[in-house]
Structure 1
Amino acid sequence: MRDPLKLALACGALVLPFSVAFTACRAAQSDPPPVQTVAQVEIPRYLGKWYEIARYPRFFQKQCVSDVSAQYAPRKDGRVEVTNRCRKRDGSIDEARGVAEVVDGSNNTKLEVTFMPPFSGDYWIIGLDQEYRWSIVASPNRRSLWILSRTPSLDKKDLDSALRIIRTQGFALDKLQYTSQDNP
């Protein structure tokens, strides 16, 4: 009769390396590559009004039920004035003002946006239509994501292009919350 302890130790010695290797391979497969920005953004072309098409829900937008937009305007100090607006459940408009600053060496594709100093957030442009008709903005940790458009709606072809970029970048499409633009 075999010693149960020796058998368990022998089996464990064989199983453990395979278990560790399997877990490491699975982890490597599930970790998406780092978020990549577009190659370059022309800030003057990016300025103006953008409508939110969809977003990942975030605590700072929990009051927003529709008509979400962002207005970007140049400042004399070279930074960008940011004005975000949305309609709340009671019909009133909520507005937040902030300042965006381009991250050096990013070809204008990465910005730091501050609404409540000293806290700032990453604003990485990861998708941009050649004509600047739509844009995808995200954070490198994949917690924030917005699909923006120059118009209150995005046609199916453009939305499909944006969704393809989002999926390729390792973002979950099922987290997207689509925005109603009832009174843009």
Structure 2
Amino acid sequence: MADGATPVNSADGENRREFLYLAAGAITAVGAAGVAWPFINSLNPSADVLALASTEVDLSQIEVGQSVTVTWRGKPVFIRHRTEDEIKQAEGDDGAGLVDPQSDESRVIKPEWLVVVGVCTHLGCVPLGQKTGESRGDYGGWFCPCHGSHYDTSGRIRKGPAPLNLLVPEYEFLNDTNVKIG
């Protein structure tokens, strides 16, 4: 050899080639993981969504017969402090021909408090009936003017195209005056 390079036997060449393949593969894998991680991490819920995973509501300010709307996970949640008449009407309608049969008892923890997600189950509109003077439909609950769905005082669909009752979110009473949704 005129260059002064040392001759390499074929076994050493194969070992070096295998090492280079392994090293290049490892670097490629680390690079792919480095590129993929931000994408995968972007699929996680954002901090504001995690902060809204549960909501606590003070019920002491809600009078009998009054309804309030709170936001939970970006959706309106209707909380109604039902009157005795609304409770009796809801319990009396348990045997009525309901589109989505559920008893009033299965939809509430305490009969005087109704907590439902305020999104119509037909096309996702927000039904009317929370504010004084708004139409509450034919059954005294909520009315979705977009397509004419009528909900009763337990949030059950009674008339119209909606296929399901208003959703009851997971909630619990922390004490007599506070409820935690989510």
TM-score by structure 2 length? 0.34
Q: Which structure is richer in relative contact order (CA contacts within 8 A, separation 6 or more)? A: 1
- Rg (Cα) greater in structure: 2
Which has the larger strand fraction?
1
TM-score by length of 1: 0.34
